[in-house]
């Protein structure tokens, strides 16, 4: 069958009416097998085309369609626009094959010719009919032809073409673009090309590092095999159509590379010392591991590196113990570590995809490299040492700066951890990796050269159903991002244990996390709703908009918000459940004091009795008054728990009046098991400093 067409108006053909909009397809097989056009159509007879000496493109527009040579490329306005390329390619391919090879039927082990099946059963039928796999013999016509075939095959492989089933071999460069106005000329296939200075420096050192990595692995290699993929060169950045198509393939491009080379800096100053120190720290940890475990250090550079990391960390128990590091390394921690952590490499949006999806990653500066696994173990050790007080105290040499250094290292540690989570086998870990990427997207701490790249640069990791398209306005893409983000919570269903992992993970940051980067303010995009996030380079970022998150949620005990729908974005509007706040008309003379408990209980009993007298048993929202007050007072999402805690406190101090007791029963007091109620009460009291433990 040919390509589909549609009638743009009502058509009458041989007495048949074809209504406007009808889908039509050319029955190519029926035409090609028409004996009036092609006598004996089943017969192989190339001579039938000798009276059509021109190419197919010369016949498709002739007035008499019966004088066309063939109908393979279709007809009408949707005829194949690439017919000239297709036909010329076929001529070249067949000419070369016939020049180079004698093609004959296959033979069995005894040399007897085997019959080749040419029936319809030998073909896969469909929109395009193709032959099924079959045997035949390709024999070079002479020795000179054979030498030419071998030579051109090798030349093609050196040029990057992979013939046969082999995967293309290349490493992928991950780098910061740098100032686009400051460039350096390089040659790409002999063509002078301007690239940023940082890219030029990376390309000068990339092959040297590749060879060093291959030598260190102990694997044999051929220097001529080196190929590198750098997006500024391999993708036409000025062609939005090409850029859109290539970005949609990024997952494949990243994961198909042999490894990614993360070019941290074009200068060795501070960075080379840092990478050397990381290697020393890893060797120290490795020595301790072998002494403790009696085994060789696991391979942190292989496909199971995440599992090896866990094994090594468990064996060491405290890999961040300061005793593993010598005084020289303490000097590094207070010196070069800050320079390393502040490299712009760690703030570039695209870096996360590049170091997460590649099978392996090495980080480099002009003089040094280190693998991802080794870097992650040492950074994990240092970060834990800087953030755990007992280890900071054990190393007073850098105690005054530990907090600041931990803050500097936090971004690097977070980026490396996402790759670790993504390589863990559990689905829960992979979900956490996705969610951490979404938090980074809304962090306001990443930088990109194009507004839409704040989304597209992380899209392969978020799992959001979005398709990169560089012709779209940034405001539209940002709104779609927020919409898809909120759909995570709308679609999530509790697991068998009752947990909702996405909600549990993101709630401490606030489900409306992105509002802190909202578009309100001077210079905002007029097409961007005031609630939508503004993702911009750091110097241009809007002031953060404060949001309630985590334990600071003032509505924790509001019954009205416990079963409300999640926030959602619909047609450019953000819908969020809210409450109308009442005006405070009066306050007690004394604030409600938690300690001592007896005074607290007496105060609560008196106030609740007073509320029942002045307001009645029902709150303005229609909820039972005591249920609302107890839930708000004790910050309990479960109304029954709040009411039971109130009853327990009053009962302990013999303050449960008949009126309060009857009203609690009417309001749904169920007398929960003592252990359950006690747990709620202890947690609540401990949070308020009522008692320790």
Nearest-10 crossing angle of helices 271-293, 305-316: 70
Residues 6+ apart with CB under 8 A from 201: 263, 266, 366
- Can you tell me the distance from the alpha carbon of 224 to that of 206, in angstroms, rounded to the nearest whole number? 14
Q: CA-CA distances (angstroms) from residue 486 to 498, 511, 543?
A: 20, 8, 23
Residue 435 burial (10 A CB sphere; 0-12, 13-18, 19+) = buried
Give the residue from 361, 288, 277 showing the smallest Cα distance to 323.
Answer: 288
Tokens at 413, concatenated: 């540690």
- Can you tell me the distance from the alpha carbon of 55 to that of 70, in angstroms, rounded to the nearest whole number? 10
Pairing of strands 191-196, 183-188: antiparallel
CB atoms within 10 A of CB 441: 26
Any idea how long the chain is? Answer: 693
Give the residue from 28, 12, 32 showing the smallest Cα distance to 20.
Answer: 12
> Is 500 flagged in the annotation as binding?
no
CB atoms within 10 A of CB 170: 19
Q: What are phi and psi of 687, to 5 degrees?
A: -60, -30
Looking at 380-531, which runs of residues are DSSP E strands? none
Give the residue from 416, 328, 334, 406 showing the smallest Cα distance to 377.
Answer: 416
Task: Give the CB-side neighbour count of residue 26, counting CA atoms within 13 A.
Answer: 18
| R_g (Cα) of the chain, nearest Å | 36
Residue 485 burial (10 A CB sphere; 0-12, 13-18, 19+) = buried
Residues 6+ apart with CB under 8 A from 176: 198, 263, 344, 345, 348
Q: How far is CA 497 from the centre of its chain?
A: 27
Helix intervals (H) in 350-426: 351-357, 372-387, 389-394, 402-423
Tokens at 225, concatenated: 């095999």
Give the residue from 237, 230, 169, 226 showing the smallest Cα distance to 198.
Answer: 230
Say if residue 596 is preceded by a cis peptide, omega within 30 of 0: yes
Strand partners, 191: 188
Give the residue from 539, 549, 544 showing the smallest Cα distance to 518.
Answer: 544
Give CB contacts under 8 A, 24+ apart, made by 190-196.
Answer: 193/233, 195/232, 195/233, 196/232
Tokens at 428, concatenated: 């829960």
Task: Give the CB-side neighbour count of residue 400, counting CA atoms within 13 A.
Answer: 1
Give the residue from 300, 433, 275 showing the smallest Cα distance to 361.
Answer: 300
Known binding residues are 80
Known binding residues for heme are 80
């Amino acid at each position: 069958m040919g390509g589909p067409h549609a009638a743009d108006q009502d058509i009458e053909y041989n007495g048949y009416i074809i209504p406007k909009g009808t889908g039509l397809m050319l029955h190519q097989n029926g035409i090609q097998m028409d004996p009036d056009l092609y006598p004996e159509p089943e017969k192989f007879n190339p001579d039938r085309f000798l009276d059509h000496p021109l190419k197919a493109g010369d016949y498709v527009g002739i007035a008499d369609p019966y004088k066309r040579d063939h109908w393979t490329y279709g007809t009408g306005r949707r005829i194949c626009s690439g017919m000239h390329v297709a036909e010329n390619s076929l001529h070249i391919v067949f000419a070369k094959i016939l020049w180079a090879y004698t093609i004959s039927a296959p033979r069995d082990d005894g040399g007897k010719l085997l019959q080749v099946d040419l029936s319809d059963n030998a073909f896969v039928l469909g929109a395009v009919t193709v032959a099924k796999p079959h045997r035949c013999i390709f024999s070079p016509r002479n020795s000179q032809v054979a030498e030419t075939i071998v030579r051109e095959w090798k030349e093609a492989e050196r040029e990057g073409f992979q013939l046969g089933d082999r995967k293309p071999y290349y490493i992928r460069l991950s780098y910061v673009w740098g100032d686009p106005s400051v460039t350096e000329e390089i040659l790409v296939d002999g063509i002078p090309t301007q690239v940023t200075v940082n890219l030029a420096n990376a390309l000068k050192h990339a092959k040297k590092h590749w060879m060093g990595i291959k030598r260190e692995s102990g694997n044999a290699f051929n220097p001529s095999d080196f190929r590198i993929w750098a997006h500024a060169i391999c993708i036409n950045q000025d062609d939005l159509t090409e850029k859109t198509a290539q970005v949609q393939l990024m997952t494949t491009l990243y994961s198909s590379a042999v490894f990614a080379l993360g070019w941290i800096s074009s200068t060795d100053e501070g960075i080379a010392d840092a990478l050397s120190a990381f290697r020393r720290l890893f060797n120290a940890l490795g020595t301790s591991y072998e002494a403790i475990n009696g085994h060789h250090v696991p391979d942190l550079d292989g496909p199971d590196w995440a599992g090896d990391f866990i094994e090594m960390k468990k064996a060491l128990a405290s890999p961040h113990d300061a005793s593993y590091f010598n005084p020289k390394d303490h000097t590094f921690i207070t010196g070069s570590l800050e320079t390393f952590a502040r490299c712009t490499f760690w703030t570039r949006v695209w870096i996360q995809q590049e170091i997460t999806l590649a099978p392996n990653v090495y980080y480099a500066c002009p003089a040094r490299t280190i693998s991802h696994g080794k870097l992650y173990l040492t950074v994990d050790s240092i970060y834990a040492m800087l953030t755990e007080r007992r280890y900071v105290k054990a190393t007073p040499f850098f105690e005054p700066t530990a907090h600041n250094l931990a803050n500097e290292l936090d971004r690097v540690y977070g980026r490396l951890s996402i790759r670790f989570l993504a390589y863990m086998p559990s689905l829960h870990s992979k979900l956490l990796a996705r969610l951490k990427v979404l938090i980074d997207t809304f962090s306001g701490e990443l930088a990109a050269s194009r507004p839409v790249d704040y989304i597209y640069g992380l899209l392969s990791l978020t799992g959001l159903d979005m398709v990169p398209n560089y012709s779209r306005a940034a405001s539209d893409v940002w709104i779609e991002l927020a919409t898809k983000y909120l759909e995570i919570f709308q679609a999530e269903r509790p697991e068998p244990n009752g947990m909702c992992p996405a909600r549990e993970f993101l709630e401490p940051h606030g489900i409306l996390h992105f509002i802190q980067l909202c578009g309100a303010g001077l210079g905002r995009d007029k097409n961007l709703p005031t609630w939508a996030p503004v993702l911009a380079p750091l110097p241009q970022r809007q002031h953060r908009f404060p949001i309630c998150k985590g334990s600071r949620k003032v509505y924790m005990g509001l019954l009205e918000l416990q079963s409300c729908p999640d926030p959602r974005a619909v047609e450019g509007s953000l819908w969020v459940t809210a409450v109308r706040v009442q005006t405070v008309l009066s306050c007690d003379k004394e604030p409600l004091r938690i300690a001592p408990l007896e005074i607290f209980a007496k105060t609560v009993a008196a106030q609740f009795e007073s509320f029942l007298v002045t307001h009645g048993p029902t709150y303005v929202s229609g909820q039972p008054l005591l249920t609302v007050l107890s839930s708000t007072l004790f910050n309990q999402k479960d109304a029954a728990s709040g009411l039971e805690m109130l009853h327990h406190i009053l009962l302990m101090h013999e303050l449960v009046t008949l009126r309060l007791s009857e009203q609690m029963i009417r309001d749904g007091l169920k007398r929960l098991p003592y252990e359950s109620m006690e747990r709620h009460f202890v947690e609540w009291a401990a949070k308020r400093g009522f008692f320790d433990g």
